[in-house]
Structure 1
């Protein structure tokens, strides 16, 4: 009777031990690998490079903007000096601001003809004293030749309004004010243009407005110099 009791206890202990062993075998093996959300070294290097490129691009854009502002200021200051030279008919002063290689082109209208009169610095120094007559272009509407001395031309198609107190001063205008096509940037694609606009009067139906475009390009030294005087007005 005692033997049977001990045998029963031993068998039960054996069965319990076996079940625990099977459960342990069925459990997944532990691993030393740990899951992490931290970026790898390659990802960190890639992100650093992207940040560097973005910073360089932002720095380049800022420098371009600063250079553009500097150029605009330099051009505007020179334009004011040239306006004074035209008003006072000072050929020496005008010539000193003209591009030494390209000279100065004169266009009576905002559509610049390819054969427009161009004068060199030496010619400009005595511009207002010269008695030579040029054909500067042709009048819109009548088609008659514009045959004038330089002084007469400037008085009619150059400084022909109070541009020093213009109603508007516009940098690099693109839209024509009248019905004549504006092609200044096509002729001078790298230019900076300052337009002085004087509005018309009510008694003339605002049709007697005038505008003068001073066109600048950089010379070999990187300085902005005048390359064209482009006049604009109402045309038929």
Structure 2
């Protein structure tokens, strides 16, 4: 009987030990719970490192680069736009060679104003300036003057032979000032003339050999033509003045002043 009670006590103790062992399972299970908690603590750290560290760095790097690129682009484009826009301004054209029309405009004004100094400045330095009283250019008998000679001619009282008058054949013996009134600016070419470039407008009985003496490949001319002055003579008083320029690159130098008019 005693033995049975002892066995029963041992069984009770074993049962209690078993219960104690079972109650330790949750304690063992707490370790896996800590492991996920530990992994969750590490995971955000690893995730946060690339995102907050890389994204701001890229944003901070790109923004200044883009800003500096835009600024440098704006700095580069601004002068170009200024140069392009200012190219059409008159002050920028002052240093450029004039077109033949622009050159002729300046020359005809100096002729009207008898500004011999400005006129001389347009004359070809080596070839000088030839004066032809009629359409036919006489390379042997037409008078040619250098720049230096031309400046003082208006006050020169010397009478020169400038060929012969059409029809009569008499010598055209005049001072430069008188020749100027008769065979240069003898009509208001600035106000009343029709203007053409490399095209003849007036045509009389005198042969026009301009393009033979001054080939178009090397020369340009601008003609000022007045169809008539007095209506009663029905155009028999027409006038033309042709300014001949040698083409020197993009520039022009005056080489000839050819007067033309109705001839019998």
Which TM bucket (shorter chain)?
0.5 to 0.7
- Secondary structure of the residue aligned to 1:128 is helix
- Secondary structure of the residue aligned to 1:206 is coil
Of 234, 244, 256 in structure 2, the residue corresponding to residue 215 of structure 1 is 244
Partners of 2:119 and 2:105 in 1: how far apart?
A: 11
Aligned partner of 2:252 in structure 1 is 224
Aligned partner of 1:204 in structure 2 is 233
Query: Normalization by structure 2: what TM-score?
Result: 0.59
* Larger Rg belongs to: 2
- Secondary structure of the residue aligned to 1:229 is strand
**Contact 2:202 2:225 (8 Å CA) reproduced:** no
| Pair 1:191–1:145, CA change in 2 (3 A) | same
Quote the RMSD (CA, aligned, Å): 1.8
- Secondary structure of the residue aligned to 2:114 is coil
Partners of 2:231 and 2:201 in 1: how far apart?
A: 23
| Pair 1:146–1:91, CA change in 2 (3 A) | same
Gaps of 5+ in 1: 1-69
Partners of 1:113 and 1:171 in 2: how far apart?
A: 22
Aligned partner of 1:38 in structure 2 is none
Partners of 2:178 and 2:196 in 1: how far apart?
A: 26
Query: Normalization by structure 1: what TM-score?
Result: 0.66
Partners of 2:246 and 2:261 in 1: how far apart?
A: 24
Partners of 1:176 and 1:158 in 2: how far apart?
A: 15
- Secondary structure of the residue aligned to 1:100 is coil
Between the two proteins, the alignment pairs up a number of residues equal to: 165
- 1:172, distance to aligned residue in structure 2 (A): 1.1
**Contact 2:131 2:143 (8 Å CA) reproduced:** yes
Larger displacement relative to structure 2 (160-169 or 224-233): 160-169
Aligned partner of 1:171 in structure 2 is 197
- 1:167, distance to aligned residue in structure 2 (A): 3.4
Per-residue CA shift, 1:120-146, capped at 9, x if unaligned?
001011121111111111101000010
Partners of 2:174 and 2:263 in 1: how far apart?
A: 19
Of 154, 160, 166 in structure 2, the residue corresponding to residue 128 of structure 1 is 154
Gaps of 5+ in 2: 1-95
Aligned partner of 1:98 in structure 2 is 123
